[in-house]
Amino acid sequence: MEKIPVFKPLLEAEELNAAEEALRMGWLGMGKYVGDFEQAMLGVLGAKDRHAVAVSTGHAALHLGLLLIGVGPGDEVITPAFNNIADFQAILATGAKPVFCDIDPVTLCVDLADAESLVGPRTKAIIVMDYDCVLCDHDAVAVFAERHGLRVLHDGAHALGSKHRGKMVGSFSDITMFSFDPVKTITCIDGGMLIVRTEEEVRRLHEMRLIGMGQPASVMYQNQRAWTYDVQQLGFRYHLANLHGALGLAQLAKLPIISETRRASCKRYNAELGQLSDVVVPKTDFDDITPFLYYIRVPAARRDALRIFLAERGIDTGIHWQPGHWFTLFRDCRRSALAVTDQVGHEVLSLPLHSKMPDQVQQRVIDGVKAFFA
Ligand SMILES: Cc1ncc(COP(=O)(O)O)c(C=O)c1O
């Protein structure tokens, strides 16, 4: 019986051709395809008034995004404890501390009232994250940030291709980041991107992603480099390479079919599994959403048994996530009671979701879950 993984990248002739072409081009560092990928992203987002800066991972994007808005030692950044480790580590990497707020029990995104109770004199920013197929209320986030004088880093790693009140994620927030790691909706093996508002922010990010070197991107995007330049600020080796840019471009061109097929699979999961009394499915019709993963919530006491039951049928499952305060490194972080996060952390289970997932493959997953609860 073929194993069904939780994630499966959609790698077809287009990606193989793009990779071959990029390698044949012979310019392996940051070059033409990286610039093209950034421009293509702005086109897809409908955000020509914004700027895109590609980097090596989503984690690098988070780290640079925080540095860009001046987060540093002594500062605090509020974020849901129900978020990715990359977000927590990016905060630590700046010298600041994460402060964990709770999530809304229905959307599983930031609970702004709870976040409000944690705002203090050291709070510099808030990271909000769209958990998979339900987005944050970003209008309320903007009002919250304005009220407290905070910058917003919008983690859109799960939400590329999704729309919030008619606007593409990435086109409206203070700063947005995306990830293109191997399991993401579109992948370039590893990669990330920041969407920012001003040319000054772009200039700083261009330097920070290239160990501080003042190399003009316009030169590098012609597969050339300058040999003399200044170094004015702290930097990291966080740039994206040409091969990855080429893969990102090839994947981005397929976003419509990726969105359509993932959305259809999620609708089917909701229709089939939503009937089970022990299963809570995401509360959305998936319209305007490009789902990254498909999760259900099941009684905490039965989750492990369900995972084993499915594994025995060749069906892999995942847990997104263990909350931040459960980890040794973050257990002493300032936080609220996190009652919802603790409950959801024990209940949540990711089921296989692939682009162009064949019906019979998905049926095996649905049958497996139904058989367990029968
Ligand atoms: C919500 C979220 N933010 C950030 C990241 C980090 O991205 P990357 O793996 O590209 O570093 C991930 C990765 O899974 C994620 O899920």
Pocket test for ligand 1, best of 103, 181, 292, 350 (most atoms within 8 A of CB): 181
Nearest Cα residue to atom 14 of ligand 1: 84
Tokens of 97: 């501390």
Query: Does the Cβ of 181 fall within 6 Å of ligand 1?
Result: yes
Q: What is the helix (H) or strand (E) element at residue 53, kind and residue range?
A: strand 51-55
* pTM recorded for the entire structure: 0.98
Question: In the 8-state DSSP scheme, what is residue 30?
Answer: S
Q: What is the pLDDT along the chain (374 residues), one digit of tens a residue?
A: 899 999 999 999 999 999 999 999 999 999 999 999 999 999 999 998 999 999 999 999 999 999 999 999 999 999 999 999 999 999 999 999 999 999 999 999 999 999 999 999 999 999 999 999 999 999 999 999 999 999 999 999 999 999 999 999 999 999 999 999 999 999 999 999 999 999 999 999 999 999 999 999 999 999 999 999 999 999 999 999 999 999 999 999 999 999 999 999 999 999 999 999 999 999 999 999 999 999 999 999 999 999 999 999 999 999 999 999 999 999 999 999 999 999 999 999 999 999 999 999 999 999 999 999 99
Query: Does the Cβ of 38 fall within 6 Å of ligand 1?
Result: no
| Ligand 1 atom at minimum distance from 192 CA | 10
CA 279 to chain centre: 25
Q: Is residue 209 within 8 Å of residue 59, measured between CB atoms? A: no
Strands (E), 278-345: 294-297
Q: How far is the CA of 131 from the centre of ligand 1 (A)?
A: 11
- Which residue do the tokens 């789902």 mark? 291
Domains of the chain, each with CATH number or no CATH: 13-252 (3.40.640.10), 256-373 (3.90.1150.10)
